[in-house]
Structure 1
Amino acid sequence: MLQVISSRSLLKNPVIPLPSFNSSPDEKINRFFQEFESVSEQQQFSNRNKVLLLKQQMHGSAKYLINSLELCSQSYEDAKNLLSCAFASTDLQKYNIVRMFSELKLKSSDDPFSYIGRVRSLIENVKLLKMNGDDFAQYFVWEGLNETFKQHLISITNNVRPSLEAIQEHFFEASDRYLQDSKAHSKTIVKDKCEKVSSTNLAISVDKRNIQRGFSLCCNSDYPLHKVSECEVYRTPEKKLERIIEPNRCLKCCEQGHLANNCFFQIS
């Protein structure tokens, strides 16, 4: 015999889906709790069941935080406070909202209704957090700085994302540190370049100093006087350099018998 189930009995215990939280930067923990508590109040869950359901709806780093609570401290309020401290920072929420505004774009393949839905959601959050122009300015000023400058401001303010007021207050101090770093970096580059003078350049320099003095790297009877760069015996820059810096040869005039610190040759 076929049993008939009335529509009234079907509505007696409705199944209301619970929201989930995936720990992504775009999610709002406050909104999650509003929806979660709305459902849990309708269903009259006990404190213990609320904690179990909360764990069930958490994913990612939020779930690890909930699981870190001591067994004796696993009340719903403890769990909520822990998650709020981690994910409901007002400054972080404001920063993420401006970031999402900056990334808004309706692509040709996008649904325009989905786009306007995101816009309305962001505007709602702007009102909820009472955001102003400084919050938007802070985002773009901060994102406009390079990583080195950011690190100086972070070190000075002891804040990973300083406010617009803090950026303005400590900007010159950070600038001074930044410029000092740049000078030190430039000196290091110059020093490295000086230390890496090629043997080719040294050979050319020797050639210019000695072309008028009758100096040759080798003693070639067929061609007794020739430029260092034209020597057929010491062809490569490395061989030229080895010949020039051999023991008891002056690096200033390239003649043997004295060293550069005792050389009286004047470079014209």
Structure 2
Amino acid sequence: MNKLQVFVGQRKTIRKKVTECFNNVNNYDSFNPSERLSERGILLHYKEKLSDLDSKILAEKFFNRETVVEADLETELNSCQDYLDKIERLLPLLDVSENPSSNVTDTARSLLKQPTAPLPKFSSREGEDFSRFITEFENTTSAFSYPDRDLLLLLKQQIDGRAKYLLYSLEADKQSYKDAKELLVSAFASKEARINSTIQKLLNLKLGEKDDPFIYISNLRTICEAVRTLKIDANEFTRFFAWRGINGNFKSHLVQITTKTHPSLDDILDIFFNASERYESTKGKTPQEIKFRNKFRNTPVKDSTDSLAIKTKVMESKSSVPNCLLCSRSDSKESNHYVNKCQKFSTPAEKV
């Protein structure tokens, strides 16, 4: 039995126990404070063990392999998250300070069987607006007074793709809606990226002869709302079109100097001449040529018997007539032989 089979077997046992606890939720109202505390400790232990085993199994099955089937990885991640979600739903019900025994049944029912709401979805595809998604998500869920942990569970259900994988990387002590939102906003809705996306949408906005005017005005209203929300001013529009007009090679120098993916207009103006000097020194050369040139510029040339032997072979290949370069340039009268057959200069040191 290999390590993967051992890990899967251990996880299967713990998952079975978590399911038993989850199915026993209606009996929590009869638990006294001591029993609640004990049950909560058991669930926290299960959570820690599952997280550890999930990481080991993912590493053995996917992360240590060169090729991974994305569908299989997504299925495995969803399975792991389902059992962690069950534990997260149960833990608040066992908090003695917040859940008196008389209200446990009602609390369990309200948490586990909430009414279905028309929540938005985010699939991590190009062109999707995460800031709009999160605004609609919070506006919808605010009417139901969800606890923080339930908000996190609902958020995980409404996202897919790269965003879902990113949430799986949240640390054990940051399993909250606030931390999850901050992580996703930094990845998919940074202010600079949203400003660029808004101006690009405005640039692409067009009402053709066969286009629907209502779709046009809807897109225009969305752009206007984004402009107001992000407070996009003349400097941002100037920066966008200035950056758009710069070629890729020059952009790379600006990014390297400022260490910013989206340099501001002031950044561009301040370091433009510095970037221009770098640009001129590499103008007309491909990145491969620049790398090749820099590599050999810094490599010292070795004057050794190895280099002499290489030069000798090159010279010999150019002529089929034996000719010893060393003897022909000395006082020796015999030079009708190759350098490597020379008797007068027989050792490498003498040849040098």
Q: TM-score, normalised by structure 1?
A: 0.60
Say whether 1:95 aligns with 2:196.
yes
Tell me the amino acid that sits aligned with residue 222 of structure 2: S
Other structure's SS at 2:133 match: helix
Tell me the amino acid that sits aligned with residue 141 of structure 1: A
Equivalent position to 1:18, from 113, 119, 143: 119
Say whether 1:161 aligns with 2:262.
yes
CA deviations over 1:113-162 (Å, ceiling 9, x no partner): 00110011001110111111111111111111111111111111111221
Q: What stretches of structure 2 of length at least 5 have no aligned partner?
A: 1-113, 290-317, 322-352
Q: Aligned residue for 1:141?
A: 242
Tell me the amino acid that sits aligned with residue 231 of structure 2: K
Matched ranges for 1:205-220 at <5 A: none
The answer to whether the 8 Å contact 1:156/1:174 transfers is yes
Q: Distance in 2 between matches of 1:125 and 1:38?
A: 17
Tell me the amino acid that sits aligned with residue 171 of structure 1: F
Say whether 1:116 aligns with 2:200.
no
The answer to whether the 8 Å contact 1:20/1:58 transfers is yes
Identity of aligned residues (%): 42
Structure 1 residues 101 and 184: alpha-carbon distance in aligned structure 2, compared to 1, 3 A threshold: closer
The answer to whether the 8 Å contact 1:23/1:62 transfers is yes
Tell me the amino acid that sits aligned with residue 148 of structure 1: N
Equivalent position to 1:64, from 165, 186, 195: 165
Q: Aligned residue for 1:125?
A: 226
The answer to whether the 8 Å contact 1:23/1:60 transfers is yes
Q: Distance in 2 between matches of 1:133 and 1:69?
A: 38
Q: Aligned residue for 1:173?
A: 274
CA deviations over 1:195-221 (Å, ceiling 9, x no partner): xxxxxxxxxxxxxxxxxxxxxxxxxxx
Tell me the amino acid that sits aligned with residue 254 of structure 2: L
CA deviations over 1:144-189 (Å, ceiling 9, x no partner): 111111111111111122111111111111111111112767xx8x
Q: Aligned residue for 2:253?
A: 152
Q: Aligned residue for 1:48?
A: 149
Q: Aligned residue for 1:82?
A: 183
Q: Distance in 2 between matches of 1:75 and 1:247?
A: 80
Q: Aligned residue for 1:262?
A: none
Question: Shift in Å at residue 15 of structure 1?
Answer: 4.2
Question: Shift in Å at residue 31 of structure 1?
Answer: 2.6
Segment drifting more, 65-74 vs 13-22: 13-22
- Structure 1's consecutive aligned runs of 4 or more residues displaced over 6 angstroms after TM superposition are 245-248
Q: Distance in 2 between matches of 1:98 and 1:165?
A: 19
Structure 1 residues 183 and 32: alpha-carbon distance in aligned structure 2, compared to 1, 3 A threshold: closer
Tell me the amino acid that sits aligned with residue 149 of structure 1: F
Tell me the amino acid that sits aligned with residue 51 of structure 1: L
Q: What stretches of structure 1 of length at least 5 have no aligned partner?
A: 1-12, 189-244, 249-268
Which structure has the greater CA radius of gyration? 1
Question: Shift in Å at residue 32 of structure 1?
Answer: 2.1
Equivalent position to 1:39, from 135, 140, 143: 140
Paired positions, count: 178
| Larger helix share, 1 or 2 | 2
